[in-house]
Structure 1
């Protein structure tokens, strides 16, 4: 038992790590769709379009901004000028001087008029002289306090605000922008569909091309075996003296040609598999085997031929939908341009906080105020700039519509051509089947005649060549039927998977 286990382990270790991989058509399609860079890019574009659409929806909603700042000023804001400050600063001196002069003049007049005696006047003058300095100091203090009261101390300014903006009427620009966002998202969906269809079409082409080449490889091997058998028979006949060496050389040339054809087909299979690996996202030198390679009826198309007309294609083709999206986007772009030159109305509201307090004598405290308002913007004169831009945008829309019409006409032609090719391929297949039957019978008769000695070597080689051509044409006709039907489905916009 231990020996059996050891042998099993040795056999497992001898298996190469890079074993041949069996692939079906569905698995090739799945890998191609998963690894195709252009499809992945289109999916990322869809994600971009989705987020852009969501961002466009926010334009309908109010937006709130918070602002804050600090500024240092080398000078403060002054409500009083320098002259006024000087007057207030010397208010007591000025008042005391005028009061002293007035009292001195009054006492002198009263003494001269005899109202009071000189001694009384002198006593009153002494009293006034004592009152004036006190009045001067008190007045100056009052003036200084007034100066200080008018100081703003605005060298350090702190501000903060909360602002709300709500669009009311933007000329239809927000509506148009949201429609463009919706259309752009639809466009990315159509791009994904288009790239998916193209990828599957390429995969199916590569897959069935390999299958047809493998059938041709088998055919080339069969032909090589035929000419080798003929060569052996001729060599025997040469030894018996019933055939010439020239006959042997002719057959040897055919053997070389058959070997060359087999090499060319094998190289074609290798190149086709490299292409399939590249489309599937695998290393191009990956050893693969297709599920339908060895099936004798793999190229026999039993599916129902696609049916449809140009109108069906126009409804289904992703390319036309993309062009229609371009037309719709161009129309909405015109609406956005027009909205720029229409009146626009928005509601604003906010709360402003400052320090110093502007609303209480520049008090060194934070204080704020609410505000609400309506902003209206009305373009009056722009030298017909809006008119020119709208005309240019409408012309671009017309160009997009003409491109759409041209594409529709080309699709009608594509449908007609593809339908004709399907019909032609079916006719060629019927003819190839008949030619194959005749070539088989011709080869059978040639081999029989050669054995009976009534036909020459050249006749047998001609029959073998005709048999090879008929079989090769049948394989070409079978793959042509399959690929033309695939192409018709693609042209009609039908799903390929």
Structure 2
């Protein structure tokens, strides 16, 4: 008893593990996984972030900007305020002046000699006068030498004071710029950034709809092939059973060998059909797994695989072109392109208008000339208004504006063409939905007739009044009717998805 319980528990655990190994996925879960896995969706979201940052950057153009500048310059020669001749004269100022006074000393010496002769005639002792004159001349020479040295020293100081030593120049400034009027360029730039962000959002919406559309196509393709695989298995089982009955009839001599071979051929065809459907199902599941970000060999089960009635006939869809024009992200993107082209034209026009900016800051340098020429840092505050008025540019801006207007016209034409194509798309897909509904009704009616035909053929075959070939024809008609029903059901689903995408309501 204990062994039986352990064995039952093991079977239960294995069954639970197998159930967990095959994941059950609905259409909504496949859509969500595809959106998370798609790389292009991630690219579009990054572009959305880029557009938001560009919009924030454009807003800063309204605000004052502060910049700091620093520089150092070394030159091989310094700036000289005095030339070499002026430097030489100032450095030898006392010596040159003493040379000019030497003539005055000789004149004074001659005069003193004449005075000594005159005083000697008057009875003044010559020795005393000569002694006095010598002392006076000695004092004058000493004074002249002292004055010459002093003047030379002061002259050299003047030369040194005028030396700039500008081989090492340090400079720096802090500048604040506040735009006042830029010809409307900043306003146009901000509008352009806003439109660019809206374009990025619309691009994300368009990419999202494209991913959902592809996911739906892959999902319903797998469902269709899964149902056709079941149909192929049922048909193979049916034709095998019929082949067994025919072989018994051959053994009993009721049926011919030719009829048996015909049934065997049908069995081979059914096996090949099942193999093709199975291969197609494997490949379709691989595609779906790749789209939703799962391993391609992952065993998955879709929620609609075992649903008998995949689609029901819906009411006749209402033609609503205005809704498509309002919702289609692609058309919104083309509107954004037209608006961005207009704002780009406004930015170009701003280059031909006056521009006014308020400027202020602080500048310093070493050496500086704020208090004479000083070898130290000195600076000053400044404020001013900068006005730029374009006068002549050989029509450069005008040509660019014309080119931009041409680009705007092209974008408008492309938008109008896209609107016409979207209108055609909506009409076509509305017609396809209506047509798919009619096909579904016809397929359902065909199923009833095919089932009745097969039932009658089987009954007649059992009674021996109908040949095996007639039964095979009924089985083939039943198979085609079942296949057409599956195709009609999937066509209804896909036509609805197509219409939603055309209307821009695929979310």
Same fold (TM over 0.5): yes
Q: 1:43 aligns with which of 41, 45, 70?
A: 45
Q: Give how far 1:316 is off.
A: 0.5
Q: Structure 1 pair 85/9, CA: closer, same or farther in 2 (3 Å)?
A: farther
Give the match's secondary structure for 1:300: coil
Moved beyond 6 Å, runs of 4+: 1-7, 113-116, 302-305
- Contact (CA 8 Å) 1:306, 1:485: kept in 2 or not? no
Q: 1:290 aligns with which of 289, 302, 307?
A: 302
Matching of residues 293-442 of structure 1 within 5 Å: 293-297=305-309, 299-301=310-312, 307-442=318-453
Q: Structure 1 pair 11/108, CA: closer, same or farther in 2 (3 Å)?
A: farther
Q: Which moved more, 1:365-374 or 1:125-134?
A: 125-134
1:76-134 deviation per Cα after TM superposition (whole angstroms, max 9, x unaligned): 22221111111100100111222232243255357658997584665543332222111
Q: Structure 1 pair 264/158, CA: closer, same or farther in 2 (3 Å)?
A: same
1:275 and 1:116 map into 2 onto residues whose CA distance is 140
Equivalence for 1:152: 164
1:394 and 1:170 map into 2 onto residues whose CA distance is 21
Equivalence for 2:125: none
Q: 1:462 aligns with which of 448, 452, 473?
A: 473
Q: Structure 1 pair 432/370, CA: closer, same or farther in 2 (3 Å)?
A: same
Q: Give how far 1:212 is off.
A: 1.4
Equivalence for 2:79: 77
Q: Give how far 1:187 is off.
A: 0.6
Q: Are 1:187 and 2:189 matched, yes or no? A: no
Q: Give how far 1:50 is off.
A: 0.7
Q: Which moved more, 1:396-405 or 1:430-439?
A: 430-439
Equivalence for 1:174: 186
Paired residue total: 495
2:428 and 2:18 map into 1 onto residues whose CA distance is 49
TM-score, scaled to structure 1: 0.94
Unpaired segments ≥5 residues, structure 1: none
Q: Give how far 1:38 is off.
A: 0.8
1:327 and 1:212 map into 2 onto residues whose CA distance is 43
2:298 and 2:368 map into 1 onto residues whose CA distance is 79
Matching of residues 107-126 of structure 1 within 5 Å: 108=110, 119=130, 124-126=136-138
Q: Structure 1 pair 44/134, CA: closer, same or farther in 2 (3 Å)?
A: same
1:115 and 1:416 map into 2 onto residues whose CA distance is 143
Give the match's secondary structure for 1:180: helix
Q: 2:504 aligns with which of 478, 493, 496?
A: 493
- How much is the aligned-residue C-alpha RMSD, in angstroms? 2.4
Q: 1:443 aligns with which of 430, 454, 464?
A: 454
Q: Give how far 1:143 is off.
A: 0.6
Q: Give how far 1:7 is off.
A: 8.6
- Contact (CA 8 Å) 1:356, 1:366: kept in 2 or not? yes
Q: Structure 1 pair 13/219, CA: closer, same or farther in 2 (3 Å)?
A: closer
Give the match's secondary structure for 1:67: strand
Q: Are 1:161 and 2:168 matched, yes or no? A: no
Equivalence for 1:239: 251
Q: Structure 1 pair 115/135, CA: closer, same or farther in 2 (3 Å)?
A: farther
Matching of residues 88-127 of structure 1 within 5 Å: 88-106=90-108, 108=110, 119=130, 124-127=136-139
- Contact (CA 8 Å) 1:347, 1:373: kept in 2 or not? yes
1:10 and 1:144 map into 2 onto residues whose CA distance is 115
Q: 2:269 aligns with which of 244, 257, 267?
A: 257
Give the match's secondary structure for 1:478: helix
1:38 and 1:413 map into 2 onto residues whose CA distance is 28
2:362 and 2:7 map into 1 onto residues whose CA distance is 86
Equivalence for 1:248: 260
TM-score, scaled to structure 2: 0.92
1:277-317 deviation per Cα after TM superposition (whole angstroms, max 9, x unaligned): 111111222111111111212x1237667545111100100
Equivalence for 2:238: 226
Give the match's secondary structure for 1:432: helix
- Contact (CA 8 Å) 1:39, 1:196: kept in 2 or not? yes
1:463-490 deviation per Cα after TM superposition (whole angstroms, max 9, x unaligned): 1111111111111111101110110011
Q: Are 1:452 and 2:463 matched, yes or no? A: yes
